[in-house]
Each structure stands twice: as C-alpha cells, then as structure tokens.
Amino acid sequence: MKIVFATNNKHKLEEIRRMLAGKHEIVSLADIGCHDEIPEEQDTLEGNAFQKARYIKEHYGYDCFADDTGLEIEALGGRPGVYSARYAGEDKDSEANMQKVLAEMQGCDNRRARFRTAIALVFRGEEHLFEGEVRGEILRERHGEGGFGYDPIFRPEGFSVSFAEMSLDDKNRISHRGEAVRRLAAFLNHIDA
C-alpha cells in the first residue's frame, strides 16, 4: 500500500526513501496526480502538517504524511515560526527573510532560537505526530554559502559554524528535520508493509 509524502521536494523524498530501505512505497504529490494548492491555514506547525495529511486522505484516499518546519526565535516571541517561508513576503525569498530577522534583532543580545519540525502521519485509520528540534542561536551576520532558508544565520548549539557551513550529512545528523524523519522512519520500519 502506497504512502503519500505531501511534498514534491525531491531531496525530502529521497531522504525518507533511503531511511525506509524499500519497506514502504513512498510517493509524491505529483505521483498521485495531485496539483492542488493544499490548504495550510493553521497557526501551528502541527496544525498545518495535519491539515495537509488529512486533506490527501480525504480527497485522494491514501495514507499520508506531511511536514512543516519553522524557526522560532525567543526574543521575537517565537516568530517567524509557522510563517518562516513567507516572513518577508509571499515570494518566499530567503535573503529577504534573513534580512528581516537580522534587522529585527539588531542590538538584541538574546540570540536563542530553535528550528522545529512537525511530521503528521495519517496511517491505517490513526494519526501520529513526530517532532524534531535543534537549538542554537541567530548570528549577527550571514556565514557560509551552503544549505537553504535561514541556514547562514543559524549556529546550532555545540558547534562553531553555521548550518550553511556544514556538510549536508553533518547537518542532517543533528537537524530538526533529521530527528523528526528518523522518528517517522523508526515507526514505519516496525510495521509490516
């Protein structure tokens, strides 16, 4: 039985398929012919992840999981949080998002922040939530060219470099997404396909 991952991001698909070692067939939205604008109207990561997964179950009949990630900055009261992708506007511009965060935090000494990922799974009539987080701090300027999103301004706790200065393997070992995906994979790997 297929399980839909409510994404068309090839990297995310590849990552989870590798971790499941072929035990379950994971397909993308494009694979099931879904080109809908899936609603994400909730004000929490968990809410959005469940809204997406339930939408696929209801409209397409497949078991499904969906993820949502946000950067939560203590001094900004948890912002950008669930609005991380569109913090500086609808065009989801990472540079503009980082600039907005840096401007808002100018002169601010509390740099504490965390990335948090929620993965919602609708599976065999039940719902499950898998979470991951990584704590760190917001740098005062961009460092490094790798990664995506807010990586150049986030330094994970216990490291001297930003996410954008780490290899993808090193980042995945400690990241919010890595942790949530490992928890999902551990659950599915204990269940017969």
- Stretches 15-23, 100-108, 122-130, 146-154: which one binds ligand IMP (CB under 6 A)? 146-154
Closest distance to ligand IMP from the beta carbon of 163 (Å): 6
Closest distance to ligand IMP from the beta carbon of 192 (Å): 29
Q: Draw the binding track, 32-71, toward ligand IMP (x: CB under 6 A; -: no contact).
A: -----------------------------------xxxxx
Does residue 84 interact with ligand IMP by CB under 6 A? yes
Q: Does residue 23 contact residue 188 with C-beta atoms inside 8 Å? A: yes
- Rg (C-alpha) for the chain, rounded Å, is 17
Determine which one of 31, 43, 67, 68 is catalytic.
68
Distance CA 166, CA 184 (A): 24
Does residue 137 interact with ligand IMP by CB under 6 A? no
Confirm whether 68 is a catalytic residue.
Answer: yes
User: What is the enclosing helix (H) or strand (E) of 177?
Assistant: helix 176-189
| Interface residue with ligand IMP, options 85, 102, 129, 174 (CB under 6 A) | 85
- Stretches 23-31, 89-97, 101-109, 119-127: which one binds ligand IMP (CB under 6 A)? 89-97
Query: What SS3 class is residue 94?
Result: helix
| Interface residue with ligand IMP, options 50, 55, 130, 150 (CB under 6 A) | 150
Beta strands in the chain (DSSP E): 2-5, 25-27, 63-73, 80-81, 112-123, 126-138, 154-156
Q: Does residue 152 contact residue 142 with C-beta atoms inside 8 Å? A: yes
Task: Read off the tokens for 46.
Answer: 């968990």
Closest distance to ligand IMP from the beta carbon of 67 (Å): 6
Q: Looking at beta carbons only, is 23 or 93 nearer to ligand IMP?
A: 93
Report the residue closest to ligand IMP, judged by CB. 149
Query: What SS3 class is residue 138?
Result: strand
Task: Please report, as ranges, the residues that interact with ligand IMP according to CB under 6 A.
Answer: 67-71, 84-85, 92, 94, 97, 115, 147-151, 163, 175, 177
Report, as residue numbers or ranges, the catalytic residues: 68
